[in-house]
């Protein structure tokens, strides 16, 4: 089964996702496997729930070389960051063919809940740290393509909203 992803400039990608409550309901439990499948199918290393149409604060990730170590994170929050950052180009499964130059922290400590709702705290480095920061942006309605020369650019975000409303006005008239 092919899983269609929500693609830019769909306004859903601009929504702020809501907290997941525990114990997980059946729908959310099923969503985990569905998200793993979507991530592997599209050859991604991370996927936020909003990318398959659910505005919930959850994402999946697998940064292993073999692609056999899927992890799921609920209600994630960065509690500590390194002072070192790195600027690099980032792509997004929801914005094919586009990239953004994004400055990310090299090391983060993430607090999150696991599938059982148990609180976890772990340190992540390099690619995993970058991927997590990218997914956290999704939960806030931000995209890597909004960044310019490393920094988040509100103007780029808002410019897109204007284009969308222009489009709507035109198609309504
Ligand atoms: Zn993305």
With respect to residue 4, please indicate whether it lies within any of the assigned structural domains.
no
CA of 120 to the centre of ligand 1 (A): 23
User: Phi and psi of 45, rounded to 5°?
Assistant: -105, -5
**Which CATH number belongs to the domain containing residue 49 in this structure?**
3.90.45.10
CA of 172 to the centre of ligand 1 (A): 31
pLDDT exceeds cutoff 60 at 68: yes
| pLDDT given at position 158 | 76
How far apart, in whole angstroms, are the C-alpha atoms of residue 171 and residue 74?
39
Structural domain count of the chain: 1
| pLDDT given at position 172 | 43
pLDDT exceeds cutoff 50 at 19: yes
Question: Quick one: tokens of 110?
Answer: 């993430």
Range of the domain at 34: 11-166
With respect to residue 2, please indicate whether it lies within any of the assigned structural domains.
no
In 10 A of CB 30, how many CB atoms? 11
With respect to residue 147, please indicate whether it lies within any of the assigned structural domains.
yes
140 catalytic per annotation:
no
CA of 173 to the centre of ligand 1 (A): 34
With respect to residue 98, please indicate whether it lies within any of the assigned structural domains.
yes
With respect to residue 6, please indicate whether it lies within any of the assigned structural domains.
no
Among the options 77, 115, 116, 135, which is catalytic?
135
With respect to residue 3, please indicate whether it lies within any of the assigned structural domains.
no
Predicted structure pTM score: 0.91
With respect to residue 85, please indicate whether it lies within any of the assigned structural domains.
yes
The pLDDT tens digits of the residues spanning 88-145 come to 999 999 999 999 999 999 999 999 999 999 999 999 999 999 999 999 999 999 999 9
Q: Could you give the residue ranges of the DSSP H alpha helices within the chain?
A: 26-41, 126-139, 154-172
Return the residue matching tokens 């439990």. Answer: 29
Mean pLDDT value across residues 8-17: 96
| pLDDT given at position 166 | 52
């Amino acid at each position: 089964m092919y899983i269609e992803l929500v693609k830019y400039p769909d306004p859903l990608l601009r929504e702020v996702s809501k907290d997941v409550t525990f114990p997980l309901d059946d729908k959310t439990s099923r969503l985990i496997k569905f998200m793993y499948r979507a991530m592997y199918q599209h050859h991604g290393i991370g996927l936020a729930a909003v990318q398959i149409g659910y505005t919930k604060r959850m994402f999946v990730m697998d940064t292993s070389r073999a692609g056999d170590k899927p992890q799921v994170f609920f209600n994630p929050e960065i509690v500590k960051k390194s002072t070192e950052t790195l600027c690099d180009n980032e792509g997004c499964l929801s914005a094919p063919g586009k990239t953004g130059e994004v400055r990310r922290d090299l090391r983060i400590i993430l607090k999150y809940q696991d599938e059982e709702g148990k609180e976890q705290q772990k340190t992540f480095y390099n690619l995993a740290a970058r991927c997590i920061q990218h997914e956290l942006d999704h939960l806030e309605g931000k995209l890597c393509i909004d960044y310019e020369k490393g920094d988040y650019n509100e103007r780029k975000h808002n410019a897109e909203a204007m284009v969308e409303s222009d489009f709507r006005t035109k198609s309504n008239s």
